[in-house]
Amino acid sequence: MANFELIVSSLIGLLDLLVFSFNGAGKDSVINKEKICHSKLCENAASAIKTSIDVSINPCDNFYDFACGKWIQHNPIPPGEVQFGQLEKRMKVLNGYLQEILSSPDKPQDSVQLKRAKDFYGDCIDTGKMNSRGLTPLISLIEALGGWPLIGNWGGEFKLSEVLYKTRGILNNGRMSGAARQGILFSIYAASEQEGVRPKAIFLNPPSLFMSLEVLNDLEGESHQEKVQATRNFMKGVILEIKAAMNEPIEDETLLDESIDKVIEFESELADSIADVNTMFVQTSYLTIEDFQSSYFANRSLNSWAQIDWQSLLNQYFSSKAYIDPSMHIVLFQPNYFENLQTIVSDTSVETITNYIIWRVVAALVTETTDNMRELQFRYAQESLGLTEPFKRSKTCAEAGADKEARYYYWGYAIVSEYTSKYFSPENRHHMSSMVNYIREALLKLIEESQWLSLESKETVGFYARQMEQSVAYADWTTNSTALDEFYHGLELLGKGHHFENHVSFRNWQVDKELEKLGIPVSQVKTDLSPLDIQAHFDGSKNMMVFTAGIAGPPFYYSADAPAFLNFATMGHIISHELTHSFYGTIDQHVTPTAEEFHAKGQIDTCVRQSYFGLEGSNEIYNGTHWTLEEDNADVGGIHMAYSAYKNWLAEHAVEDKILPGLEEFTPHQLFFLSMAQMWCENVNASSIRKIILREAHAPGRFRALGPLMNSAYFTQAWNCPLNSGMNPTEKCGIW
């Protein structure tokens, strides 16, 4: 293999741009100007690539630092956040598009539901109207929940199950699967029945907490006192605002302070029973509701108000969606938490429990009231999170996708038709579908050539790969007004000017929409991913690939008119990643592995694990436990599949790919791998990185670039990396 030679260009206007010399191309090659793409899209892509590269790094030593060095310098983490990468950048762009749509005047062709979404947005940004209404809507809600001892309008009665049901959606952002699950004393979501594979089931998790586990597990720690005091100040400030709105003075400030401390101490007790990030995915139990009730809550001396009849409570949650039979199964995450929950509740005064639950509700709703309350919330975020400026109302009110934790996630279905008419052409949708087909063919060839699958296994996996369906950008029903009306049935909103009530109603409706999955077959579920989320997903229950409209933009997808390497390196790798998941999912569900296959798969896992554990910083991230193995396998297998599909596309079209302006010294094949790596450019707070990967189950961006590329012979060939250089180890892992 030819040696890699690094030359620093001294040409004026090409400041610090690397020039690479390799066989058959480079600065000495004559570039046919017709092969250079001069479209606006190509100019923008070239600029993004060029300004991200750190020319002081040898790409064969560390390709991520080479590809992303300048990007990392130019894109610091925003105050109050723990990471900022290409995904967050795409979210920002997409949110701007949504603001533009939602703030535009109604058009005759707008669907009823799009008009409702626009009205909802208009009310959401109308802080003047919120100020004129004051805290009356919030106080009315508190009274409807039975009152709040901390503000003195509590009658002494408390029905725990009833309050939990009425507040089921107030804390819940976005989808209820994955990290988006939130609740006050527990979190809940449901899974549909998949015939022959899994029964329908209810999933119970510990709740989200107001303060972090780190702080709650060490309330007296000196390093945490500022955050604990910030919480006290926030609670007290909110209470004083509400009391002032009620024209009632604080009768005993010392007693108020003591009550606030009891609320914090109660949350600390809950935190003691919640596993930390090192074990949170390990503890699970699978049992019937009847067994859950008898095993966890029987034979205890409990206050009557603290009793939870789980079958009754779950029937409230699911109401007309499905009847909850005692024999129905629950998947219990962290059973130790539920073992302790009712004892903790029963050993705590009813007043403190009420104060805590209503506080969680109020804290989640202060931003939907007055400027004074929003200022209190911002001050708290300053002191506890380091936020330097409030989030713009226009941004938070347009959170109708882009992120699985978006506040109004399900408005995405009403908006997507308008979004795609403006920002995503039918040609691009067709092009993405054709890319899926190219990559599927690459997968089928890899299956056929596999050295470790038996003939029978190849036939089974190949069958499911051929039968796999795809949903690109959006489901067709979202363009049908009647279907949209049916989807939003049950969402009851008051007229304009009632944002607070409509916010609460929408959040509860989102939860109800998720929970209805329990009562319908998996084939009828419409709510797995909002079309405006930035997501790609293989749905094993439907054998379907799903790619949202939200992800279909730079740097994850460019357009049908872009050079092929740009799309195959980015969206192509994403598609290939998901198809690798489909490959493994089919094996798990439909193949009984032979001893040889089982051994071979184990060797692949071991190879990938050792490869990633050898990366710099892996000890601090993984600590010996490879949480991200499934995703890493998909990345490693995906890059091989995506590049194979790209080569097949070039061969079928009998063309050389276009080159980007100002990057003529790179071949399209080099730019393929450069574009792939730059998808994962990011800045991450070092102290938070382990928590992030445990929550997301994906490796950090650095590893998502380095791991696949250092295991790719295609990469080392394109970049002429010497054997045993950082990016060309002797031992490489192959999924196929």
Instruction: List helix spans (H) across 6-53.
Output: 40-52
Give the count of beta carbons closer than 10 Å to the beta carbon of residue 391.
Answer: 16
Instruction: Quote the pLDDT of residue 194.
Output: 55
For residue 701, what is the enclosing H or E element?
helix 701-710
Give dist(CA 154, CA 356) in Å, integer.
13
Give the count of beta carbons closer than 10 Å to the beta carbon of residue 310.
Answer: 21
User: Rg of the Cα trace of the chain?
Assistant: 27
- In the DSSP assignment, the letter for residue 659 is B
Instruction: Quote the pLDDT of residue 106.
Output: 96
Angle of CA points 536, 541, 542, to nearest 5°: 75
Give dist(CA 442, CA 274) in Å, integer.
45
Residue with tokens 């740097």: 555
Encoded amino acid at 5, one letter: E
For residue 504, what is the enclosing H or E element?
helix 499-515
| Helices vs strands, H then E, count in the chain | 30, 12
Give dist(CA 262, CA 542) in Å, integer.
48
3-state secondary structure of 539: strand
- In the DSSP assignment, the letter for residue 544 is E
Strands 329-333 and 187-191: what pairing?
Answer: unpaired
Instruction: List helix spans (H) across 542-660.
Output: 564-569, 571-590, 595-613, 618-622, 629-653
pLDDT < 70 regions, the chain: 1-32, 172-182, 192-199, 276-282, 297-306, 320-321, 402-405, 521-523, 526-528, 693-695
Instruction: Quote the pLDDT of residue 625.
Output: 76
Instruction: Quote the pLDDT of residue 173.
Output: 59
Residue with tokens 């400027």: 371
Question: What is the full DSSP assignment across 309-341?
Answer: -HHHHHHHHHGGG----TTSEEEEESHHHHHHH
Give dist(CA 192, CA 495) in Å, integer.
34
Number of alpha carbons in the 13 Å side-chain half-sphere of residue 655: 11
Give the count of beta carbons closer than 10 Å to the beta carbon of residue 185.
Answer: 21
Do residues 628 and 698 lie in contact, with contact meaning Cβ atoms separated by under 8 Å?
Answer: yes
Give dist(CA 71, CA 398) in Å, integer.
27
Give the distance from CA 76 to its chain's centroid: 21
Give dist(CA 80, CA 327) in Å, integer.
45
Conformation bin of residue 623: beta by default, left when phi > 0, alpha when psi is -120 to 50: left
Encoded amino acid at 194, one letter: Q
Conformation bin of residue 573: beta by default, left when phi > 0, alpha when psi is -120 to 50: alpha
3-state secondary structure of 398: coil
Beta strand extents in 481-554 (DSSP E only) = 536-539, 544-548
Do residues 671 and 43 lie in contact, with contact meaning Cβ atoms separated by under 8 Å?
Answer: no
Instruction: Quote the pLDDT of residue 29.
Output: 46
Give the count of beta carbons closer than 10 Å to the beta carbon of residue 596.
Answer: 11
Q: Give the CA-trace dihedral at 54, 621, 271, 516, to 10 degrees.
A: 80
Instruction: Quote the pLDDT of residue 179.
Output: 36
Do residues 93 and 479 lie in contact, with contact meaning Cβ atoms separated by under 8 Å?
Answer: no
Instruction: Quote the pLDDT of residue 281.
Output: 54
Do residues 660 and 563 lie in contact, with contact meaning Cβ atoms separated by under 8 Å?
Answer: yes
Give the distance from CA 93 to its chain's centroid: 16
The closest alpha carbon to 134, from 362, 358, 364, 368, belongs to 368
Do residues 160 and 308 lie in contact, with contact meaning Cβ atoms separated by under 8 Å?
Answer: yes
The closest alpha carbon to 386, from 22, 76, 85, 719, belongs to 76
Q: What is the pTM of this model?
A: 0.89
Give the strands of the sheet with 5-8, arranged side by side.
Answer: 5-8, 18-22, 25-26
Could you tell me the two tokens for 469?
């369906």
* CB-neighbour burial class of residue 369 (10 A; exposed 0-12, middle 13-18, buried 19+): buried
Could you tell me the two tokens for 700?
């950090």
Residue with tokens 């390196």: 569
Give dist(CA 458, CA 454) in Å, integer.
6
b/e 37-73 (16+ beta carbons within 10 angstroms → b):
beeebbeebbebbbebbbbebbbbebbbbbbbbbbbe
Encoded amino acid at 287, one letter: L
